[in-house]
Structure 1
Amino acid sequence: MEAILYVGHGSRVKAGNEQMKDFVEKAKQAVDCDIQEICFLELAAPDITEGMKRCVERGATSILAVPVLLFSAGHMKVDIPEELVKAMEHYPDVPVRFGKPFGVHEEILNVLEKRLSAAGWKQGDDADFLMVGRGSSDIGALRDFSAMCTHLQNRTKAKRVEKAYLAAALPTFDEGLESISSSEAQAIYVLPYLLFTGMLMKELNEKIAAKSREINIPIILCDPLGFDKDLVRILCERVEDTKSRPIFTGEVIPYV
């Protein structure tokens, strides 16, 4: 019997883990599978080994490991594969297929537009955007984030869509905020490209408030992507994609 093991990142902030669980519960209802479990890479329980154990104890004879992550970076290419290998040592006769992250997807553009609209933006407004990613040293992840910035600019017809990162890549958020502050538009919207921000929103708000006092253009912080219901369709797609992937042997398969 096939099982699905959803793998989230995990957070020290309990609310973030609960949001991830609620999001996956919505996806479960749209997927035809009797055995579906949730686990986390780090910082929360159950971990991947425990998640696989729960699947097997419920009768799983094969497992689809489906990541609940935005991009393919170190967690996808190294950390999750390593943890899967450890877990598979306990169940050598249970084949595992390892899925893809959300990646570049039109549904995410829909969510970004919703976040902009909720913050007051309308199509045709004279506004520039600053997209804020978590950041990574992985070239592929940075490339995908840049692609999403380009797609958003094409869809919204914004004159400027700049990018910045919270860690591990340049420009930093401070640098991105300084750059976009030279805008001649009537408003600047800051879009956190994150499933869950935890305590980061407070820090972003403080920096934006300080910069707003220096310039005459309103800087508006949008809500993060969040575990939006519109992203459930992507997760369901990834479940179906994973069914056709090769059996995971511990070797990392590049995600292009």
Structure 2
Amino acid sequence: MKAILFVGHGTRVPEGNEQVKAFTKKAGAAFPEYEQRTCFLELAEPDIVTSAVECIENGADTLAVVPVLLLSAGHIKKDIPEELEKVQQMHPEVTIQYGSPFGVHDRINDLLLDRLRVKGWVPEEEADILFVGRGAKDPGAIEDFYRIAGELEKHTGRSRVETAFLAAAEPGFQEKMKELAEGERSVYILPYLMFLGLLIKEMDEAAAHYNQVKPGHFTRCDFLGFDERLLPVLESRVAETLEKDAGIHV
């Protein structure tokens, strides 16, 4: 029997974890024949090992592990595989199929543009769009982030796309905010984050700080979140994982 194990990042904000569960439940509805669990890498429960063992104890002999993450960085290449290796050592008889994150996808680009439009942005506006990523030490993840930013800028008309990271990469978010606060163009902060968490709070606090001096200068757009348009992306990642060869490789 195969089971699908969705792996979210996890956050100290309970609402964010509930959003992950709601999202995976909706995507998982396309695969009703498989037992399913949603777990978290850190900061929330259940963890990967606990959920995997539950599936195995319920009769699963194959685990299709699907990361609910945006880019292939350290969590994908190191942290999740380390947890899965623990499961494999505990249950060497079980087959583990390890999937891919969302990655670069046209649907995500369309959704980012929609997040801007909802806040009043139009292509004719001469604004700055601050595209903000979580950040990573992995060069491949940073390269993918810039690819997405480049595709975004092809559709932003007279607006200019700037980039920043919240951790582990440069330029830093706070540094870029300070720089853009000195300009005259309105700024739309566009988070490249999947779910609600403390990083969104950091953006809101920074925007509120600078808006005290220049009211309305910064507008924070919504994160990607639970959106129907992303469901086919996750469903495709599940289908790919179910067809993968056994092994915890990326």
Is the shorter-chain TM-score for this pair beyond 0.5, marking a shared fold?
A: yes
Stretch moving more, 199-208 or 144-153: 199-208
Q: Distance in 2 between matches of 1:71 and 1:115?
A: 19
Partner of 2:86: 86
Partner of 2:246: 247
| Structure 2 residue 194 is the aligned partner of structure 1 residue 195 | yes
Q: Distance in 2 between matches of 1:42 and 1:160?
A: 35
Q: Distance in 1 between matches of 2:137 and 2:107?
A: 25
Partner of 1:69: 69
1:243 CA drift (Å): 2.5
Alignment of 1:164-203 (within 5 A): 164-181=164-181, 183=183, 185=185, 187-203=186-202
1:28 CA drift (Å): 1.1
Normalization by structure 2: what TM-score?
0.92
1:131 CA drift (Å): 0.6
Partner of 2:7: 7
1:182 CA drift (Å): 5.3
SS across alignment from 1:132? strand
Q: Distance in 1 between matches of 2:152 and 2:138?
A: 22
SS across alignment from 2:42? coil
Name stretches of at least 5 consecutive residues in structure 2 with no aligned partner: none
Amino acid at match of 1:160: R
SS across alignment from 1:30? coil
Q: Distance in 1 between matches of 2:188 and 2:159?
A: 12
Partner of 1:137: 137
Cα distance 1:36–1:224, how it changes in 2: closer, same or farther (>3 A)? same
Which deviations, in whole Å up to 9, do the C-alpha atoms of 1:42-65 show, x marking residues without a partner? 222221111112222332221110
Q: Distance in 2 between matches of 1:10 and 1:188?
A: 29
Name stretches of at least 5 consecutive residues in structure 1 with no aligned partner: none
Cα distance 1:7–1:216, how it changes in 2: closer, same or farther (>3 A)? closer
Which deviations, in whole Å up to 9, do the C-alpha atoms of 1:42-101 show, x marking residues without a partner? 222221111112222332221110000011111111110000010112221111110000
Q: Distance in 1 between matches of 2:145 and 2:246?
A: 28
Cα distance 1:82–1:176, how it changes in 2: closer, same or farther (>3 A)? same
CA RMSD of aligned residues (A): 1.9
Alignment of 1:198-209 (within 5 A): 198-209=197-208
Normalization by structure 1: what TM-score?
0.90
Amino acid at match of 2:146: S
Q: Distance in 1 between matches of 2:160 and 2:201?
A: 25
Q: Distance in 2 between matches of 1:31 and 1:244?
A: 13
Q: How many residue pairs get matched?
A: 250
Q: Distance in 1 between matches of 2:200 and 2:160?
A: 23
Tell me the percent identity: 45
1:158 CA drift (Å): 4.2
